[in-house]
Chain A
């Protein structure tokens, strides 16, 4: 089955700096890679996703890059703000078909943005 590894487990940055979180996956058939932000005691919130037919996607301060050959993808947050502090999870799935859409999550990264 799919295995997703995420690094680092904790990340502390100063407000205004950039933050980068990296994930690797094992299943070459995976083609959908979402990123979630989860605040304590709340549901995961989709912040950006990318499909395997593109290499990069950007949404304001957030961007995701995908390297299919190397099987890794990264989340980039620029101009970080204290409200960006949360746990971030990457995930991967094959997509297509009801069972194929199951997500495998990384272990999570606790991001702390210091004012």
Chain B
């Protein structure tokens, strides 16, 4: 249980184009999803917190107009990197969490379940 998928697993695009990444919780309803970015040999940096049906909360320094996040359902969140540039090349990882009442005895309230990540390369 508690499986999170991401699509695509990797993408190469030209500078100036937009790329959409999907994050899905396959067997549970995720009230909250998180988007992280990880550069080579660095830690995971939280970009934004996405709650179903409301606007995402972005971390300081993350441009909300560049990284568009939509969380339209309890099982799907999308991250769109608009007008991508080479410096946006990174490993993007999502995670999902849900309150204990949703999956009592199986999922802790705090635990986040991570997707497999999406490797974005902007040429």
Listed in ascending order, the chain A residues whose CB lies under 8 Å from chain B are 32, 34, 41-46, 49, 51, 89, 93, 95-96, 98-99, 101-108
Contact = CB atoms under 8 A, between A and B. Distances in A.
A107 B39 CA distance: 12
Given A89-B43, A99-B57, A105-B43, A43 B111 contact: no
Nearest to B57: A99
Interface string B103-115: 0000011111011
A66 to B, nearest CB: 14
Interface of B: 31-32, 34, 42-46, 49, 51, 57, 91, 93, 97, 108-112, 114-117, 119
A98 B117 contact: no
A44 B116 CA distance: 8
Contacts of A43: 93, 114-117
B49 A42 contact: no
Contacts of B115: 43
B109 A103 contact: no
Contacts of B32: 98-99, 101
Given A44-B44, A102-B34, A102-B46, A96 B114 contact: no
